[in-house]
Amino acid sequence: MNNSKTIIMGGGLWGGLLAYHLTKFRPDINFELHEKDNTLGGNHTWSFHQSDLDSDSFQVIAPFIEKTWKGHSVFFPKHSRSLEMPYCSITSEGFHRVLCESIPSEKLFFKSQIRPEGLTNEIVIDASNQDSLYGKCGYQKFLGIEVELAEEHGLSIPILMDAQVVQKDGYRFIYYLPWTSRRILIEDTRYSNNASLNLIELEADIQSILKQKNWKVEKVLRKESGVLPIPIDPVSSQGNNISINLSGIFHDVTGYSLPDAVRLINELIKIQDWQRSTVLECVNNYRQKRHRDRSFFRLLNRLLFQAAEPKLRYLVLSHFYELSQPLIERFYSGKMNKLDYIRIFMGKPPVKITSAIEAIFLGQKNTEEVL
């Protein structure tokens, strides 16, 4: 066992979860968690499907979960559906609280901005989410506003996609997370070819949704926004020579990273001979395996962003949500099989065959990846 100190750079989702797991399962590893801001977890609502995690991992994450709903629904112009797939959400405040209660305070450093260059004797794990490791990508852009309404909204489960709205800037849908009978997070999301986020326009669009629904806002509680890369080409990072980089590991289509974070951290805490080289090897192996296993997701992204006409992109998702629930669960957890791939492509895709072929071959030429 190497006695070098492990420095976790960044107390967001990855860094916070890693520090939590090390505290719980590896008291032998000497680590510090450094966060440049004064709270852990930033300003997020992190959600995931319970079926994304195995039951042991779920138990470990359970203290962070603010609320679990028994299912969720989706709405498209020609069909809607409710799925009995429990959906869980974590808030940044809860994340910060559980971490501060669990990790010894002498290991937590706030307002501490790390520069890995000087740290040659330490094992530096970069969870700062700063490095841009992506090749060509599309973007998932969103603004969420969490409000307290004057009256009850009437939703008992989240709506993950309401695409019964005007389509603009690519595939557009509204996401509703009903925390209580009057408190709700409403997010306007777009799968767009560009990364520019027009918060004023998005806010105006959310206001008009509130108006249509006749929901009167008593109080705006918080806002969150993001631009997540949705890769078309493979992501390739082996980290630099100094730190071990955890960026760029997420579900290629949805941008969700919580399930991957939990899975990789579960691999990391099993490393007996904890050294820079063994940690780096574990991260790189996970990244490469995941990358190989999920080339299908990047193919889907190419079809979505390069072959489907922007205003018809919603049809890809609409078709997907007509498939069986176990397949949808396997899609979110990243564990699809070859039959699933075929089922996703069966039916009439909303793309011109020439554009589809171009998108597929463009990907192969650029990346040499095969399905």
Amino acid identity for residue 245 in this structure: N
**Site membership for ligand FAD, residue 42 (CB under 6 A):** yes
Q: Which residue has the tokens 């852990």?
A: 40
The structure tokens listed for 284 are 């790189």
Q: Between residues 293 and 309, which has the closer beta carbon with respect to ligand FAD?
A: 293
Phi, psi of 342, rounded to the nearest 5 degrees = -65, -40
Please say whether the beta carbons of 251 and 257 come within 8 A: yes
**Site membership for ligand FAD, residue 15 (CB under 6 A):** yes
Residue 106 CB coordination number (10 Å): 7
**Site membership for ligand FAD, residue 186 (CB under 6 A):** no
Question: In whole angstroms, how close is the CB of 10 to ligand FAD at the nearest point?
Answer: 3
Residues 95-114 interacting with ligand FAD (rule: CB under 6 A): 113-114
**Site membership for ligand FAD, residue 37 (CB under 6 A):** yes
Q: Between residues 124 and 336, which has the closer beta carbon with respect to ligand FAD?
A: 124
E strands, 103-242, are 108-109, 123-126, 137-149, 159-162, 171-178, 183-192, 217-231
**Site membership for ligand FAD, residue 9 (CB under 6 A):** yes
Contacting range for ligand FAD; rule: CB under 6 A; set: 25-33, 44-52, 277-285, 310-318: 44-52
**Site membership for ligand FAD, residue 48 (CB under 6 A):** yes
- State whether the Cα torsion 215-216-221-227 is positive or negative: positive
d(CA 336, CA 333): 8
| Number of residues in the chain | 371
Q: Between residues 143 and 307, which has the closer beta carbon with respect to ligand FAD?
A: 143
Angle at 27 between CA 23 and CA 31, to 5 degrees: 70
Number of residues that bind ligand FAD (CB under 6 A): 30
**Residues β-bridged to residue 222:** 146
Contacting range for ligand FAD; rule: CB under 6 A; set: 22-30, 37-45, 71-79, 94-102: 37-45
Among 4, 5, 25, 44, binds ligand FAD (CB under 6 A): 44
| Angle, helix 295-302 to helix 353-367, in steps of 10 degrees | 130
**Site membership for ligand FAD, residue 36 (CB under 6 A):** yes
Question: In whole angstroms, how close is the CB of 227 to ligand FAD at the nearest point?
Answer: 8
Contacting range for ligand FAD; rule: CB under 6 A; set: 32-40, 70-78, 154-162, 339-347: 32-40
> Pattern 68-87, binding to ligand FAD, x per CB under 6 A?
--------------------
**Residues β-bridged to residue 47:** 89
**Site membership for ligand FAD, residue 224 (CB under 6 A):** yes
**Site membership for ligand FAD, residue 93 (CB under 6 A):** no
Among 22, 29, 88, 127, binds ligand FAD (CB under 6 A): 127
Residues 226-245 interacting with ligand FAD (rule: CB under 6 A): 226, 228
Q: Between residues 192 and 257, which has the closer beta carbon with respect to ligand FAD?
A: 257
Among 256, 297, 305, 332, binds ligand FAD (CB under 6 A): 256
Question: In whole angstroms, how close is the CB of 343 to ligand FAD at the nearest point?
Answer: 25
| Residue at shortest CB range from ligand FAD | 12
Q: Could you tell me whether strands 87-91 and 45-49 are parallel, antiparallel, or unpaired per DSSP bridges?
A: antiparallel
Per-residue three-class SS string for 292-336: HHCHHHHHHHHHHHHHECHHHCHHHHHHHCCCCHHHHHHHHHCCC
Angle at 196 between CA 191 and CA 202, to 5 degrees: 70
Considering only CA atoms, which of 245, 196, 261, 184 is closest in space to residue 225? Answer: 196
Give the interface with ligand FAD as residue ranges (CB under 6 A). Answer: 9-15, 34-37, 42, 44-48, 113-114, 127-130, 224, 226, 228, 255-258
